[in-house]
């Protein structure tokens, strides 16, 4: 059976969507009764490097169907542990801020576009660390990236502009609220941002204070519930600051400091728009739980990278399918799982009856 790369592209992503365990070339070949050989699948994963540009081309039509000028670009990275895989430029040690320690695995930076209740990945970078050096303190070998995650974010934003994507806000957590990123979004892109800030950032409450160098920490300010216009250290333009107090599931309260360059935004606007940042957390959950991000035993950087790419593509297809089916992605995956278990159960009854 002659199989084009395009066909394999869809078949491999379908395989990721319908798998519940390890995803291997052998497993896919067996599922298709050998219609596609193990070698064909391996060649497909090894032929070229699938990049962010390929993802955009694959999902451009879907994105154009939902895009809107009120859309948001959400940036976040995620670490997927791969403790038993051999270390290389892609699978290596990354700091995971969800557990506050370094873990061995994959570090993925995603740009998720959200508009009209749909979330699609429009750019991504797998963080690679090809530079090796010796840590002076520990005398251990460490690895480093050529480009920082903040530089990758700015590159991805430039690409979104080149692709003429319609959007209004950039959303990200405090890991990406550097002055450089804010300057770039405000001055180069002429767009709005709503970002989280760490509580130790310094601000001036008036232009005179800024010129005199009188800065205070944002967690020492008197908050009335309304946003405050201020000048953040390192920025030449005024911004809006807002302190959001929220209640956690365990009834404890948390505080989130938000910053935006949309000076006439209300507290409700800032909180409502920033809440959309949660969509990227759901997306990361999807690629880890529903599209087999870490379930491929591929050994080399190219095939590992391409499997990650296919996992992102499969997650986007799952999102589109879930909207058509009016089911969330986890309910849809659960539906597939129940169907698979039912078929396995029926097959088992046939086997039992045949052996009687």
DSSP 204-243: ESSHHHHHHT--EEGGGS---SS-EEEEETT-SS-EEEEE
Q: How many CB atoms lie within 10 A of CB 12?
A: 23
pTM above threshold 0.85:
yes
Which residue in this structure is represented by tokens 């360059």?
Answer: 261
**pLDDT for residue 5 is more than 60:** no
List, for residues 73-116, the tens digit of each pLDDT value.
999 999 988 888 888 888 888 888 888 888 998 999 999 999 99
List, for residues 11-37, the tens digit of each pLDDT value.
999 999 999 888 888 989 988 888 999
C-alpha to C-alpha distance for 30 and 128, rounded to whole angstroms: 33
SS3 156: helix
Half-sphere exposure of 102 (CA within 13 A, CB side): 7
With bands split at pLDDT 50, 70 and 90, how would you rate the model's confidence at 188? very high
- Which position has the higher pLDDT, 265 or 102? 265
C-alpha to C-alpha distance for 305 and 301, rounded to whole angstroms: 6
Q: Name the burial class of residue 327, with classes exposed (0-12), middle (13-18) and buried (19+) by CB atoms within 10 angstroms of its CB.
A: middle
Contacts of residue 145, Cβ cutoff 8 Å, sequence gap at least 6:
127, 128, 129, 130, 131
Range with lowest mean pLDDT among 57-71, 181-195, 332-346: 332-346
CA dihedral 214, 215, 221, 227 (to 10 degrees): 100
List, for residues 229-241, the tens digit of each pLDDT value.
999 999 999 999 9
List, for residues 298-309, the tens digit of each pLDDT value.
888 899 999 999
pLDDT mean over 281-308: 91
């Amino acid at each position: 059976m002659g199989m084009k790369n395009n066909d394999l592209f869809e078949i491999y992503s379908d395989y990721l969507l319908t798998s519940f365990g390890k995803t291997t070339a052998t497993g896919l070949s067996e599922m298709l009764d050998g219609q596609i050989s193990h070698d064909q699948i391996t060649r497909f994963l090894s032929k070229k490097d699938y990049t962010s540009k390929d993802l955009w081309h694959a999902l451009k039509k879907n994105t154009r169907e939902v895009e809107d000028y009120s859309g948001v670009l959400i940036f976040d990275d995620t670490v997927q542990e791969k403790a038993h895989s051999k270390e290389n430029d892609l699978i290596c040690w990354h700091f995971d801020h969800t557990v506050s320690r370094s873990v061995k695995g994959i570090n993925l930076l995603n740009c998720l576009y959200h508009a009209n209740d749909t979330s699609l990945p429009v750019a991504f970078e797998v963080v690679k660390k090809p530079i090796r050096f010796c840590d002076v303190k520990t005398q251990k070998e460490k690895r480093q990236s050529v480009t920082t995650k903040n530089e990758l974010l700015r590159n991805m934003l430039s690409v979104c502009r080149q692709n003429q994507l319609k959007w209004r806000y950039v959303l990200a957590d405090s890991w990406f609220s550097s002055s450089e990123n804010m300057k770039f979004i405000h001055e180069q892109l002429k767009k709005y941002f709503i970002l989280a800030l760490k509580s130790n950032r310094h601000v001036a409450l008036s232009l005179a204070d800024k010129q005199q160098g009188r800065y205070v920490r944002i967690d020492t300010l008197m908050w009335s519930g309304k946003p405050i216009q201020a000048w953040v250290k390192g920025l030449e333009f005024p911004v809006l600051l807002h302190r959001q107090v929220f209640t956690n599931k365990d009834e404890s309260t948390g505080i989130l400091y938000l910053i935006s360059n949309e000076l006439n935004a209300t507290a409700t606007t800032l909180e409502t728009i920033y809440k959309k940042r949660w969509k990227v957390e759901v997306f990361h959950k999807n690629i880890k739980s529903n599209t087999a991000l870490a379930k491929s035993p591929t050994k080399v950087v190219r095939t590992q990278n391409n499997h990650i790419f296919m996992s992102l593509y499969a997650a986007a297809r799952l999102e589109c399918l879930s909207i058509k089916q009016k089911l969330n992605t986890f309910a849809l995956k659960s539906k597939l799982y129940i169907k698979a278990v039912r078929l396995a159960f029926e097959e088992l009854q046939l086997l039992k009856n045949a052996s009687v």
